[in-house]
Structure 1
Amino acid sequence: MRLTTTLAIVGLLLAPATMAAERNDLPSCYRYAQLASEQPAPSGRALTVVIDETVNMPQALKSSAWEHTLRYLQPGDSIKLYQFSALLQNNYMKLQFAGILEKPLVGKVRNHIGNASLKKLDTCLQQQAAFFQKTFGKQFVESFGKPNEEISRSEIFASLKKIGEDLGQEPSEDQIILLVSDMLENSDFGSFYQANRIRGIDPAAELAKVEKKELFAQLDGARVYVMGAGLIGDDAKGAYRSGKVLQSLERFWQGYFERSNARLVSFGTPELTTDLK
């Protein structure tokens, strides 16, 4: 049976059971193989990818973000994909994908399962991995801004606060956030731009403003990796601003994440030079 047909049938079978549970865009192979009672526990690791639609991200950085994601993920991990923008008619924050990659059976548990059931499960898990790359990959690509579409506003603080509320409803033991954004707030709260350039900011003063407006998030103790910081306008082909300006920007976000129950591990300006871990 073809991959799309198999998983479509499984999805239909599982729809009533999953509506009340945590969202999972990946049909369960253990239910399909009637081995739900033998399913291994999830890894406890969660990766949340957050893409800023307002940035005209160069293709090299899009590809790099995709590769970082795939290198990190392992069977048993959960994965979410958010797209955020500004609160405009057709541009707003969306949860584009949420799923759990299931672990294969190993060891003594596997040895007690019949060959027919194991074959059904193993084949489905291979299909699940391929289905994930196809489905998540499509949403990943579509989450980036369009080359000929300019969105002048960017609600980074409000978006992270809402994402934090979501994470709080489904806490994980090991949470990582990959944030693909220029990290330049441009909203009614304030702007990190001045005359179409990055404004030199005072991190302490800006953090005080965020506190006054109650815009810190609650990010589940996440480790945060940023890529794309400092990209602006037509210069998004890879150029970045002065080291002094970017250092101030990084210090601000380091303080922001500390106040938001998270830790900034790496701040890519624009490329992320360390793997997620």
Structure 2
Amino acid sequence: MTVSFSFGRRTARLLSMGLAAGLAFGLTSTAALANTGNNALPDCYQFAQIKRQTPASVQTELFVVIDQTTPFNSELRQSLAQQIGPLLSPGNALSVFAFSAYTQGYYTRRLLHARMDAPMSADARDDAGKALLQKFDQCLVFQKQGIHKLTQEALVKILSQASSSIAKSDVLGSLKDISTQVQASPAQRKIVLLASDMLENSSVSSFYSSKAVRKIDVATEWKKVESNQLTADFGGAQIYVLGAGLIDSDTQKNGVYRDPQTMNALRAFWEQYFTASHAKLAGFGTPDLLGKIQ
């Protein structure tokens, strides 16, 4: 399995410093961050002992949500990483979640939360000493490169534990749980990159039929959502889906054909769901997204 980001030579040198450098800056492993909201990256203002002139803020927070029941091949795994990379910018934040079903030892969990500081304004730099500025700038470099390392670690861990043998897939229930974290984010812009087949398979409903994708009736399925109170609140987030309609037989030589009507019904259902859940479905990859997240 390959999940990687494009690192430059400078990045590679810094990451090769290993655990000692990470501890020096306060880098926290993803294993120590499961189900917490702690920042895995050091606070560069604290590290450089520079007082903030304005409160810390987040421009964009990316929420990467991975369904561990979906059989992603190497190309889709790489596509997932390539969608994430450009959004790991100064002033932004990242949260990585995994979900499947509340069974067989699987459950919804956050593996990573990391927030990058924005560069200091020119006026603020003029007020800071040269030695402190050097420490601050070094920390920003480490933040940028450290978040790539931690993201890669989280993706590898989640995807290596994925299994199509998980009996159920609580997509709706899991998204409702995760939406509380998205809604609570103070970020000016919230983006959810949802890597999932989007095929509910729970006590609420099943979008499968004879090991293939079932052509759902949107109105009927929506009544089930309402009766089970499964709508959520994503706080105005943009939603991008990668992997819609994927099933285990797609990894075999002769995959299962899905007609356009079946996929259109699946998309229509999720468009209605996200609209009712205070979000916008901005991209629906069947399975891959055709463009980059904007």
> Structure 2-normalised TM-score?
0.85
Does the aligned pair in 1 maintain the 2:70–2:162 contact within 8 Å? no
Which sits farther off after the overlay, 28-37 or 218-227?
28-37
Trace 1:3-42 onto structure 2 (pairs within 5 A): 4-11=19-26, 22-38=37-53, 41-42=56-57
Classify 1:106/1:253 alpha carbon distance in 2 versus 1 (closer, same or farther; 3 Å): same
Q: Could you tell which deviates more after superposition, 35-44 or 189-198?
A: 35-44
Residues 102-251 of structure 1 mapped to structure 2, 5 A cutoff: 102-144=117-159, 146=161, 150-236=165-251, 241-251=258-268
Residues 171 and 115 from structure 1, CA distance in 2 versus in 1: closer, same or farther, beyond 3 angstroms? closer
1:27–1:39 Cα change, 3 Å: farther
Q: Which residue of 2 aligns with 1:15?
A: none
In the alignment, which residue of structure 1 is the partner of 2:280?
A: 263
Shift of 1:244: 1.2
Alpha-carbon displacement from aligned partner over 1:3-61 (angstroms, at most 9, x marks no partner): 6324314439xxxxxxxx95211111221110142477434311111000011101111
What residue identity is the alignment partner of 1:52?
D
Question: What code does the residue aligned with 2:263 have?
Answer: L
**Structure 2 partner of 1:18:** none
Structure 2 CA distance for partners of 1:272 and 1:149, relative to 1, 3 Å = closer
Q: Give the residue type in structure 2 aligned to 1:110.
A: R
Which sits farther off after the overlay, 262-271 or 97-106? 97-106
1:225–1:157: structure 2 CA closer, same or farther, 3 Å change rule? same
Distance in 2 (CA, whole Å) between partners of 1:10 and 1:47 is: 23
Q: TM-score, normalised by structure 1?
A: 0.90
**SS in structure 2 opposite 1:201?**
coil
Between the aligned residues of both structures, percent identity stands at: 35
Amino acid at match of 1:44: Q
Q: What is the number of residues matched between the two proteins?
A: 271
Q: CA deviation at 1:149?
A: 5.9
Unpaired stretches in structure 1, ≥5 consecutive residues = 13-20
